[in-house]
Structure 1
Amino acid sequence: MVATEANSSLTSHSSEETRRLGACLAPLLQPGDVIVLTGDLGAGKTVFAKGIADGLGASGEVTSPTFVILHQLKGRLTLYHFDLYRLESAKEFVALGFDDILYGDGVSVLEWGDKFPDQLPSERLELVFHFDDGDERRIEVRAEDERWQQVVREWTARC
């Protein structure tokens, strides 16, 4: 992993490294944390979520939940892995009862969570995945509140 100056961007050189980044973030996560993964199709969002599951010791396989919208995996903390790609509106999001999960006792990882930003807590970590040269991925890190900024500092220092 290569971090830029203000930890506003990370570079991963392989899918294995992307997965390790997720695993390295997991020990820093707390109940109620929300992580939004967005960016190019196939750029590593699900691979990163697999890493978080690894780091949480979650049992079960992490796959893209596109057709089922949510996978739940038990580990140190419960991982709620969402894929909001197929949802059409914020009404659908709310009607499915996601508020109860987002503000619950697990960690929520939302692929395509940028579709409904007003339904998400303002205290969240946002990661935007981009293709770079070859297998490289550039991951933009957006941490607006103080806690997430501290988590990002610890994450990039240890990984």
Structure 2
Amino acid sequence: MEFTTTCAAETQNLARRLGELASPRTLILLYGDLGAGKTSFVQGLAQGLDVAANVNSPTFTIIREYRGRLPLSHFDLYRLDDPDEVWELGLEEYVAAAGVVAIEWPQIAEELLPPERLGIHIQHLGEDRRRLRLEPRGDRHRKLAEELMSDVNLGS
């Protein structure tokens, strides 16, 4: 499942719609190079979850939590070197809670996370264009991705 967006607003609108469709225990893993648009995607996701606060990258704090229709826990694991550090953060508790978890740079934690998840690979295509490839795992996240794909294709 793939989308191509032509500007930051389109990317955020796609993410906003994902936030609107999200249910408790939605786990989103965000992949992409530096500057690909992972944090911008989470900003749109937060809008769809009715988060009123400004969403910023948690690069130095590792995690930021936001209140909305569902709680949003935003992780950035870029600076972590050891999978043990991931567990010290209590990541498993966030994933098991009744909110939405978005993880930038999840590679270090992949083996530790539950198999039910939605991977989103963001590729910068030049200027403001992005390719987003969705890789859902598990029935719930597959249905979520299919509903998002259907909504976007219908112009919702």
Q: Does 1:23 align with 2:16?
A: yes
Q: Does 1:146 align with 2:139?
A: yes
Q: In structure 2, what is the Cα distance between the partners aligned to 1:134 and 1:27?
A: 27
Q: Does 1:69 align with 2:62?
A: yes
Q: Which runs of 5+ in 2 are unaligned?
A: none
User: Which residue of structure 2 lines up, in the alignment, with residue 102 of structure 1?
Assistant: 95
Q: Counterpart of 2:16 in 1: which secondary structure? A: helix
User: Which residue of structure 2 lines up, in the alignment, with residue 90 of structure 1?
Assistant: 83
Using the TM superposition, give the Cα deviation of residue 157 of structure 1 relative to its aligned residue in structure 2, in angstroms. 1.4
Using the TM superposition, give the Cα deviation of residue 108 of structure 1 relative to its aligned residue in structure 2, in angstroms. 0.2
Match of 1:42 among 8, 15, 35: 35
User: What TM-score do you get using the length of structure 1 for normalisation?
Assistant: 0.92
User: Which residue of structure 1 lines up, in the alignment, with residue 74 of structure 2?
Assistant: 81
Q: In structure 2, what is the Cα distance between the partners aligned to 1:133 and 1:62?
A: 24
Q: In structure 1, what is the Cα distance between the partners aligned to 2:132 and 2:99?
A: 24
Using the TM superposition, give the Cα deviation of residue 102 of structure 1 relative to its aligned residue in structure 2, in angstroms. 1.0
Q: In structure 1, what is the Cα distance between the partners aligned to 2:117 and 2:42?
A: 15
Percent identity over paired residues: 37
Opposite residue 158 of structure 1, the aligned amino acid is D
Q: In structure 1, what is the Cα distance between the partners aligned to 2:108 and 2:5?
A: 25
**Contact 2:62–2:75 (8 Å) recurs in 1:** yes
- Please report the RMSD computed on the Cα atoms of aligned residues, expressed in angstroms: 1.0
Structure 1: which 4+ aligned runs deviate by more than 3 Å? Answer: none
User: What TM-score do you get using the length of structure 2 for normalisation?
Assistant: 0.93
Q: In structure 2, what is the Cα distance between the partners aligned to 1:142 and 1:110?
A: 14
Q: In structure 1, what is the Cα distance between the partners aligned to 2:39 and 2:126?
A: 20
**Contact 2:26–2:141 (8 Å) recurs in 1:** no
Q: In structure 1, what is the Cα distance between the partners aligned to 2:128 and 2:46?
A: 22
Q: In structure 2, what is the Cα distance between the partners aligned to 1:80 and 1:59?
A: 14
Opposite residue 157 of structure 1, the aligned amino acid is S
C-alpha offsets along residues 46-101 of structure 1, whole Å, 9 cap, x if unaligned? 11100110011012111111000111010000000110000111100011211111
Aligned length: 152
Q: Counterpart of 1:116 in 2: which secondary structure? A: helix
Q: In structure 1, what is the Cα distance between the partners aligned to 2:94 and 2:120?
A: 20
